Structure 1
């Protein structure tokens, strides 16, 4: 059996050398972590503000929907009252006509 080294294995001489000064690498990582934490805090604050705005808009929308339903109900009631008044008017006109007809017959 042939014992060849795999082509994708790196030889120890081909490996990348890690930064010689770990303090420099560590401080840059700490700065990166701090920047990410600051960004996270800012995003959470933005999320809170947007959630409050959404809640306010939803509440306002619900209030307007309730008002529209109330106005529709009042309009329907007004139409019913108007129809009832018109029917009463027709009835009174008929009674008046009958009274005039009866009086003219005398």
Structure 2
């Protein structure tokens, strides 16, 4: 209970309400957008470049007497989904799975 209360307190203290965001002429400034990004971006008036770099190593692994499962994706599993979806399945052993999605979206 204390952890949940601490987490909720931190969320309340660190979150911003809509009144805290200043929007002039219904546009967000480049500085405001920069503070909201989660990747490495270079912004140019004509070009936007986004990148994601993932470096992982799987070495020295030993798997003895292992049991693997089946990868099953039932019919209609993504029927009600919207937006950008990603499904990663693995039934093996000693596998390093890295996933990254970069989306460039331009609204005009």
TM-score by length of 1: 0.19
User: More helix by proportion, 1 or 2?
Assistant: 1
Higher relative contact order (CA 8 A, sep 6+): 2
User: More strand by proportion, 1 or 2?
Assistant: 2
TM-score by length of 2: 0.19
